[in-house]
């Protein structure tokens, strides 16, 4: 009996995204973080230098495609929890924010290894090429719709 692999499409992409996100959100909930807060905090931690609020919003929007007002509300939540700090006009993560993100990363690492482990490198490379192209095309369509 021959098993035919499913063809990648928008539904398959969505199912994979929400399955993986469900695992992450389960971990985040134990740490009192939402998915959006984690993305914003990670953006500030990985930026390397403090960001203006506008730069932070733009970078997070590139990932989440969320409305700027919603991203600013998420940044306000992180400020209130003292996971990020406003220095003059710049936002930067606090030590507590860095530690929380590291704890989440340590907890999700073995889960990610079980999810991604054993997939051949050539399959990951092919999937990466397809996903990069889909992202590029979807970003272009979104830009046209919102222009």
CATH of the domain at 83: 1.10.10.10
User: Quick check: is 100 in a domain?
Assistant: yes
Does the residue 84 lie in any domain? yes
Mean pLDDT confidence for 9-28: 95
Q: Is the pLDDT of residue 100 over 70?
A: yes
Q: Does this model's pTM top 0.85? A: yes
How many whole angstroms from its chain centre is CA 84? 17
What mean pLDDT is predicted for residues 43-66? 96
Number of structural domains in the chain: 1
Residue % of the chain over a pLDDT of 70: 99
Give domain status of residue 103, yes or no.
yes
44 CB-contact burial (10 Å; exposed 0-12 / middle 13-18 / buried 19+) = buried
pLDDT of 50 over the 70 cut: yes
Task: Say if CB 97 and CB 79 are below 8 A apart.
Answer: no
Q: Is residue 136, in this structure, part of any structural domain at all?
A: no
The overall average pLDDT reported for the chain is 95
Q: Which residues pair with 92 in a beta bridge?
A: 85
pLDDT band at 6 (very low <50, low <70, confident <90, very high): confident
What pLDDT sits at residue 2? 61
> Domain containing 58: what range?
27-108
Q: How much is the pLDDT for 1?
A: 60
């Amino acid at each position: 009996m021959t098993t035919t692999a499913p063809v990648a499409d928008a539904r398959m992409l969505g199912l994979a995204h929400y399955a993986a996100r469900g695992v992450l959100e389960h971990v985040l909930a134990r740490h009192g973080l939402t998915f959006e807060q984690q993305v914003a905090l990670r953006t500030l931690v990985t930026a390397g230098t403090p960001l203006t609020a506008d730069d932070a919003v733009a970078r997070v929007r590139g990932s989440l495609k969320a409305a700027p007002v919603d991203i600013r509300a998420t940044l306000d939540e992180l400020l209130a929890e003292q996971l990020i700090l406003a220095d003059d006009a710049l936002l930067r993560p606090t030590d507590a924010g860095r530690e929380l993100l590291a704890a989440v990363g340590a907890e999700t690492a073995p889960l990610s290894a079980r999810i991604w482990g054993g997939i051949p490198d050539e399959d990951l490379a092919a999937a990466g090429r397809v996903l990069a192209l889909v992202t590029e095309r979807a970003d272009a369509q979104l830009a046209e719709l919102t222009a």
